[in-house]
Structure 1
Amino acid sequence: MPDSRPLPQIGRHRLPNRVILAPMAGVTDRPFRQLCRRLGAGLVVGEMVTSDPALWNTRKSRQRMDHTGEPGPRAVQIAGGDADMLAEAARLNAAQGAEIIDINMGCPAKKVCNKAAGSALLRDEALVAEILDAVVAAVEVPVTLKIRTGWCADSNNGVRVARLAESAGIQALAVHGRHRQQRYQGEAEYDTIAAIKQAVSIPVFANGDIDSPRKAAEVLDYTGADAVMIGRGAQGNPWIFREIDHYLRYGRTCPPPDMNERADALLGHVRALHDFYGHYMGVRIARKHLGWYLAADRRFDSDRQRELRAAFNALEQPNEQYDFIDDLFSLEGATGLSWATNGISAA
């Protein structure tokens, strides 16, 4: 059945649908955000940015903070463990045009948790409350929060943290259905997300292992969440946003992208990476995205994916990558598993 509930709202921003791109470090850069929004994401969240402004002058930080040409609302995620520093980071980002500030309390990476940031904060609910109060008070734009269900299986405190968030004035809450010690292992659980939705009145976004329209509908129905947040499910498959939105609106699947659309999207994405990062870094960053596109393409078994990745990873020039993509789709469509370009054989 189509979902007939009102669409979620974050402050003054009413979302156009129930499908959100999750912030992912090293993935949700400006080229990928623009692609996902064009293909149906109702909201996209930028890569995590450190709350320490002293580190913002690095090339990586400047690129992560670059939202040039993107439609609103512009959502910026900040991470750190000091309330005053996070509040100042929120102020500075809002001054630079951020329309939504998202606080990261969900990242499980060691280098983040070792600095008492990300999901490590869930171990200290007093500090969580201090940070939320400080950031909300610092800016006039809406503040959102992303968490996990807890630090570990014995500390599943997501409901308590959600109540703290609502009390502090957080406008929406995204919940990944794993605790920190799971990282991305095992299966996400949705009981905690359902309990959080019952405990608070702010919008709740369900995150974790949502990789198809039917799975999105099942999770929304089971948890009562207001939207789904898609992370790894969008890697190599940015059409997932359009497909989920269509399924939620009409109760049926839409046609998958044809070969021409897939080729155009991948080629456009790689060109955008070259333009954004420059040729040297663009060529290298394109390699991981090509790997994800191949992994999402059911025509290729794991051995074939490995061969094609190896061939693509050997290319050093943008034009070589463009030729590879052109040949990949034109020749794969015509001859199944026969492919070669620029003298480099994938067989």
Structure 2
Amino acid sequence: MKIGSIDLGEMPLFLAPMEDVTYKSFRYMCKKYGADVMYTEFVSSEALIRDIAKTKQKMHLFDFDRPVAIQIYGYDIDSMVHAAQRVEEFQPDFIDINYGCPMKKIVRKGAGAGMLQDLDKMQEMTAAIVKAVSLPVTAKTRLGWDEDSKVIMDAALRLQDAGVAALAIHGRTRKQLYTGEADWSLIAEVKNNPAIKIPIIGNGDINGPEKAGEFLNLSGVDALMIGRGAIGRPWIFKEVKHYLATGEVLPAPTVEEIVQNVRDQLQMSIDWKDNVRTGVLMMRRHFAKYFPALPDFRQHRIKLLQAIELEDVQATLNEIVEHYGDMRVDYTNASLK
């Protein structure tokens, strides 16, 4: 599979862009375990052109990231064009347009998945961005706004005509948010439409290697994108690659092995922010996800989520290792919510 001139090999695995999740330390953990393509957290075009420091920090890239995309969203075409040109200064490998975010604060302005209600504007915006930059441009979207308007085929053809180099499709509508099951049959219809010439990347509900294999066989997509299934489980990329190559499921990691991953990600977060408390707080979204379905874990989870000082986190992690040791964590029924 290629994006522009970037050769990603056969069946690359993408880490989906997620706000407050796909920052440096988490991207590093996923790359360590085999994720092929990284995305930054998504960036507001309006914030970018106003030169907001926090927004610019999201776009700082590192050697381990590559190949990597910076994803932008917005509702005004001129602002999005300007933002894309600013993004080029940070030298990603490609630029991605967010047409899939379902958050109310974004869609109410017509951005993100809100653009699925105005495909003419989506196509016009995409074409303008493609024309304005030298880097390849890709897009990520959903099946449609709701059950009665699954416009993904029309959207895919329009985006292809506008010049995108690849398209990622999340198998839900905007109205679904992250509820229900992702519909990979519609992703398959897009991929198998003879008029579609660009690579199609499938996304939604990949919570383990067997699901990845099932969805790949159903759809025939060119690549798989993993989002929430990687939170607290960055080694899912290693598991998926092994399964696709051999048909075997790797043993689940032990609690002790998981704790070491937590410590590594935590320390990188602290070093990156140069602030212990900030690094600890950044990890709260990840702590509980690293330990799903462990028996009698509630008190440990509370301690992790309430901890502010590094010493408190490390003490709780020591308790977890002492209590659970070489127990293996079962992710089979872990929730993606």
- Runs (4+) of structure 1 moved beyond 6 Å? none
Distance 1:222 1:24 in 2: 25
Contact 2:255 2:327 in 1 (8 A): no
TM-score by length of 1: 0.88
Distance 1:212 1:283 in 2: 27
SS in structure 1 at match of 2:64: coil
| 2:24 paired with 1:14 | no
2:241 maps to what in 1? Answer: 245
Distance 1:334 1:220 in 2: 33
| 2:218 paired with 1:227 | no
1:326 maps to what in 2? Answer: 318
> Unpaired runs of 5+ in structure 1?
1-7, 337-347
Write the mapping of 1:1-347 to structure 2, written as runs, cut at 5 A. Answer: 8-16=1-9, 17-52=11-46, 53-59=48-54, 61-199=55-193, 200-277=196-273, 278-295=275-292, 298=293, 300-301=294-295, 304-333=296-325
TM-score by length of 2: 0.91
Distance 1:109 1:203 in 2: 26
State the percentage of identical aligned residues.
36
Distance 1:151 1:71 in 2: 32
Question: Which amino acid is 1:230 matched to?
Answer: I
Question: Which amino acid is 1:322 matched to?
Answer: Q
Distance 1:117 1:263 in 2: 39
Shift of 1:68: 3.2
Distance 1:11 1:234 in 2: 26
Between Structure 1 and Structure 2, how many residues are aligned? 323
Distance 1:150 1:191 in 2: 14
Distance 1:245 1:35 in 2: 16
Distance 1:84 1:10 in 2: 25
Distance 2:63 2:22 in 1: 15
Moved more, 277-286 or 215-224: 277-286
Distance 2:249 2:176 in 1: 32
> Unpaired runs of 5+ in structure 2?
329-337
Distance 2:89 2:327 in 1: 54
Go from structure 1 to structure 2 and tell me whether the alpha carbon gap of 1:97 and 1:134 turns closer, same or farther (over 3 Å shift): same
Contact 1:243 1:254 in 2 (8 A): yes
2:331 maps to what in 1? Answer: none
Distance 1:225 1:47 in 2: 24
